[in-house]
Amino acid sequence: MKINNLTKEEVLHNLVTSENGLSEEEAKRRLSEFGLNEIEEVKRTSLSIKFLKQFIHFLAILLWIGAGLAILSEILHPGEGMLTLGLAIIGVIFINAIFTFVQEYRAEKSIEKLRLLLPFYVKVIREEKEKEIPARDVVPGDLIILSEGNKVPADSRLIDTTYLMLNNASLTGESEPVPAQHKPCEGEIIESRNIAFAGTTVVSGSGKAIVFATGMGTEFGRIAHLTSAVEAGLSPLQKEIVKVTRIIAFLSTIMGVLFFFIGHLIGIGFWENFIFAIGIIIANVPEGLLPTVTLSLAMGSQRMAKKKALIKTLTSVETLGSVTVICTDKTGTLTQNRMEVKEIWTADYRKIPPSPPFSKSPFCPPLIKGDIGGLSGGMGGLDSYEWLIKTAYLCNNARFINGEYKGDPTETALLKYARENIGELKSERLHEIPFDSERKRMTTVNKILEMEILSPRFPPSPIPRFYALTKGAMESVLPICKYILRNGKITSLDEALKKETTDAYHSLMDKGLRVLSFAYREAGDSSGVLQYAPTFIETDMVFVGLIGIEDPPRPEVSEAVRKCREAGIKIIMITGDASRTAVAIAKEIGLVKGSPFVIEGHEFVRMSDKELREKLTEEEIIFSRMTPKHKMRVVSILKEEGQRVAVTGDGVNDAPALKKADIGIAMGIAGTDVAKEASDMILLDDNFATIVNAIEEGRAVYDNIRKFISYIFSSNIPEIVPYLAYILFRIPLPLTIIQILAVDLGTDMLPALALGAEKPTEGIMKQPPRDPKERLLNLRLLTRAYLFLGPIEAAAGLFGFFYVLKSGGWQWGQMLPSDNLLYMQATTACLTAIIVTQVANVFACRSFRESVFKIGLFSNKLIFIGIAFEILLQIFIVYHPWGNRIFATAPISLNIWLILIPFAVFLFIAEEIRKVFLHQIYHT
């Protein structure tokens, strides 16, 4: 028979398990037999294919053509050194391919490491104990516990359900949740309501199930659907860089061809023109730009992970820097999620009594029913305070297990307070109507033994009674109450008592407390017949009282909110709590200064999009009593208005809003599996301050990319100018192609990467968010690189070149052969000048507006490692025979270095002066 046709007992028998779960020894044996509960990933592109692709992209093809032409020219016109040039260009292709491949491989590995930070855990029962184990360790026969927001780890047969709703979209494509049940079903397994399939999610309710298939044996495995892959892909920024590189390469080619013909017109030979054209192309193209950007993004994501922000894709790193609005939950994000009962109100007590009005004992004895008048008071005629505490205890899904409280933080706080005041309370729960965000209340039906005195001549005898116990939001509980417990009697809840209750509710909320209301009623008639329909149970209830729970704000949130204000980021609180509680907390953390505009859930539903659009322009706005599905509408309208939205969420119903937002942020501790899958970023500590830190890091990553682009582009000018001087003024070529490559793919690489590791500058969160339409290569950056820093380096290079030539007796107009010692020393001086000024330039590019002394001259140690590498490589090129042979250089005297250093000092001082002027402009 199919497993869906079997009864609960038959399922347990067939899978050789029990309601106590497997033993650890048996689970280990089955894991060995059936293997890990994992879906085999689709075959990835092999490393060899990825490496080969580095030789056929646009830039590589351009360089292959150049190398081919150089080798062809050597064949047709030998003796011009074109073979060396051709081989050098091929060397560049290989160096670039290896560098890019290594960087992409490192970036990919960093993403895989980040994935390992967030394993997928499952609750199981083994050896009669509830345990949490990695999903990969689940085996057939395991008894798993399912609750709202869980992802089902393996194909399982349900044996117990409480209002369980499953979303099978990942398997069937049907987005509507379906009700599940645990009774035997006929028909196909795929259509059975008593099967929870691997990869599906629990929308609401709870249940228990026995695993019958794992890994590739599941329905998911059979269709080979990969559920856990994180694909990085090319982000918009990376696509822009690819586009920019191609544009520059195209323009360089046009420039090379144009100057080739100009040279031809003024009488320069074909081969000289050809060398010039190739030099112009290579000097302009930033060969190492894309892999450097990719690695910078990966490094940024790893730095964020250290700050408890797990970035799932590289795309999200750059997007964070342009966020303008954060829509955030309150509980657990702005607050500590450390709930504690602080105040209690009943019609008899106005606050927590200094000592309980009843004795505390380890086990509560059976209750003795007394005459309290009116309707049945139940639970032995207890006063309203004790009634309230016992309702909070029994209408509760938290548990005290192995000396620890486990469950929802709010319910845990209630259970802890109740246990500390009345000890253990025994009761049999018969039914539960679970809490959901629409009803905003939870009800249980409990069987309680009460000791009733039937006659003074006989001892009290136990009588089973059935009670419906309810807790929830005031606006949800009060309307279903007809009575109130006061002075040991059930009294009609008239308007005066309603006002008194509401005033008490408001008073507690104004203190920033989360306030829950409690009520009860008898749930069975005299014959003990129970009716579980909510319309019967949740009517004509007796209001018991209020409990105010404190969830203090996180101490670091106030500073994070201040940072957001300075950074031009608007924060919108969207909470399920009441308005007064939300406003009190918002004022405490500095989120609001005056009287914020507050929209409650019932008002939100009635609002048109036009009205909501207008309200969202308010400077301070709070949404209260909101359900998760309302977030989606807020996010959609904000995005339509051109905002870049980050939104937090932890529940199943938050998933659409998390996907819709520019940055979906899930809670790593309190978040459901569904929310984590839908998000772009996961907070490993559920802390709002971590979001702000991640935004700061995102801005820094984008800023750092601009810094090393500015650094790389600055050296283009001293590489291009020598070729222009060569073609226009008929002088020996001051810088050879191979020497250009020594700069672009040698000395510049490590300093550029070091710039990518710069920490956020002090003023980065005092600037408004970046406009997403703003281009990476804007006019300001290009002007600074090409018209300010670059010309200084070009002047240094030409000065060094002519200084050596003149010192050696060279006359204007005299052309020197490429193997002439004086000529090689002159080109070496030109190359050295570029390297020396690039050392100063790396410090200049560490910030765009702030002095390097303000951010700390030694704050980035990688800079000094990069500079040391740069200088050592240049010493090798200048003084080692191999370096001389490869790069056509010759040793130069120490005084040449000394006369070039002032140019580096001038560049550094000029840039510092520019920053002073900028600082004055922006602060006046």
CATH code (residue 395):
3.40.1110.10
Report the pLDDT value the prediction gives residue 570, as an integer from 0 to 100: 94
Report the pLDDT value the prediction gives residue 109, as an integer from 0 to 100: 67
Considering the domain architecture, whether residues 799 and 895 belong to the same structural domain is answered as yes
Considering the domain architecture, whether residues 487 and 594 belong to the same structural domain is answered as no
Residue 59 resides in a domain: no
Q: Does the annotation count 155 as an active-site position?
A: no
pLDDT band at 361; cut points 50, 70, 90: very low
Report the pLDDT value the prediction gives residue 356, as an integer from 0 to 100: 46
List 142, 155, 160, 329, catalytic entry: 329
Report the pLDDT value the prediction gives residue 372, as an integer from 0 to 100: 30
Mean of the pLDDT values across residues 416-444? 86
Residue 195 resides in a domain: yes
Report the pLDDT value the prediction gives residue 104, as an integer from 0 to 100: 66
Residue 58 resides in a domain: no
Considering the domain architecture, whether residues 745 and 824 belong to the same structural domain is answered as yes
User: Helix, strand, or coil here: 184?
Assistant: coil
Considering the domain architecture, whether residues 332 and 345 belong to the same structural domain is answered as no
How far is it between the farthest Cα atoms of the chain? 134
Considering the domain architecture, whether residues 639 and 786 belong to the same structural domain is answered as no
- The label of the residue with tokens 């073609």 reads 727
User: Which pLDDT tens digit goes with each residue over 469-496?
Assistant: 999 999 999 999 999 998 888 999 999 9
Among the listed ranges 293-302, 385-394, 642-651, which one has the minimum average pLDDT value? 293-302
Contacts 24+ apart (CB under 8 A), 425-432: 425/364, 425/390, 425/393, 425/394, 426/363, 426/364, 427/394, 429/394, 430/466, 430/530, 431/530, 431/532, 432/162, 432/163
Considering the domain architecture, whether residues 713 and 643 belong to the same structural domain is answered as no
Report the pLDDT value the prediction gives residue 641, as an integer from 0 to 100: 92
Considering the domain architecture, whether residues 679 and 743 belong to the same structural domain is answered as no
Considering the domain architecture, whether residues 578 and 456 belong to the same structural domain is answered as no
Q: Which of 550, 566, 587 is the last residue of a domain?
A: 550
Considering the domain architecture, whether residues 299 and 331 belong to the same structural domain is answered as no
Give one DSSP letter per residue of 478-537, joined into a string. GGGEEEEEETTEEEE--HHHHHHHHHHHHHHHHTT-EEEEEEEEE-B-TT--B---HHHH
SS3 sequence of 817-854: CCCCHHHHHHHHHHHHHHHHHHHHHHHHCCCCCCCHHH
More confident call, 354 vs 404: 404
User: Which pLDDT tens digit goes with each residue over 860-870?
Assistant: 888 999 999 99
User: Which pLDDT tens digit goes with each residue over 438-456?
Assistant: 788 999 999 887 766 555 6
Domain count, the chain: 4
Among the listed ranges 143-147, 198-202, 209-213, 360-364, which one has the minimum average pLDDT value? 360-364
Q: Is the pLDDT of residue 124 over 90?
A: yes
Domain holding 656, by residue range, is 309-336+554-686
User: Which pLDDT tens digit goes with each residue over 292-312?
Assistant: 676 677 777 778 888 888 887
Highest average pLDDT, of 95-109, 170-184, 261-275, 457-471, comes from 457-471
pLDDT averaged over every residue in the chain: 82
Structure token digits, residue 630: 């309302």
Cα gap 290→101, rounded to integer Å: 11
Report the pLDDT value the prediction gives residue 865, as an integer from 0 to 100: 93
Q: Which of 528, 550, 572 is the last residue of a domain?
A: 550
Among the listed ranges 417-431, 547-561, 742-756, which one has the minimum average pLDDT value? 742-756
Q: Is the pLDDT of residue 80 over 70?
A: no
CATH code (residue 193):
2.70.150.10
**Closest C-alpha to 394, from 420, 427, 358, 419:** 427
User: Which pLDDT tens digit goes with each residue over 777-790?
Assistant: 788 888 899 899 99
In DSSP terms, which residues pair with 853 in a beta bridge? none
Report the pLDDT value the prediction gives residue 907, as an integer from 0 to 100: 95
Residue 389 resides in a domain: yes
Considering the domain architecture, whether residues 370 and 426 belong to the same structural domain is answered as yes
User: Which pLDDT tens digit goes with each residue over 804-831?
Assistant: 999 999 988 888 888 899 999 999 999 9
Residue 909 resides in a domain: yes
Among the listed ranges 84-93, 582-591, 746-755, 900-909, which one has the minimum average pLDDT value? 84-93
CATH code (residue 681):
3.40.50.1000
525: Cβ–Cβ under 8 A, 6 or more apart, which residues?
none
Report the pLDDT value the prediction gives residue 106, as an integer from 0 to 100: 67
Q: In this structure, are residues 290 and 245 in contact, taking their beta carbons and an 8 Å threshold?
A: yes
pLDDT band at 4; cut points 50, 70, 90: confident
AA identity, residue 286: P
Report the pLDDT value the prediction gives residue 221, as an integer from 0 to 100: 74
Structure token digits, residue 924: 């006046």
AA identity, residue 858: F
**Closest C-alpha to 789, from 742, 738, 844, 835:** 844
| pTM of this structure | 0.72
Beta-strand ranges (E) seen in 697-760 are none
CATH code (residue 707):
1.20.1110.10
Considering the domain architecture, whether residues 331 and 442 belong to the same structural domain is answered as no
Residue 344 resides in a domain: yes
Considering the domain architecture, whether residues 504 and 591 belong to the same structural domain is answered as no
Residue 559 resides in a domain: yes
pLDDT band at 835; cut points 50, 70, 90: very high
Q: Which of 550, 568, 595 is the last residue of a domain?
A: 550
Report the pLDDT value the prediction gives residue 67, as an integer from 0 to 100: 77
Q: Is the pLDDT of residue 83 over 80?
A: no
Among the listed ranges 155-164, 177-186, 546-555, 837-846, which one has the minimum average pLDDT value? 177-186
Residue 35 resides in a domain: yes
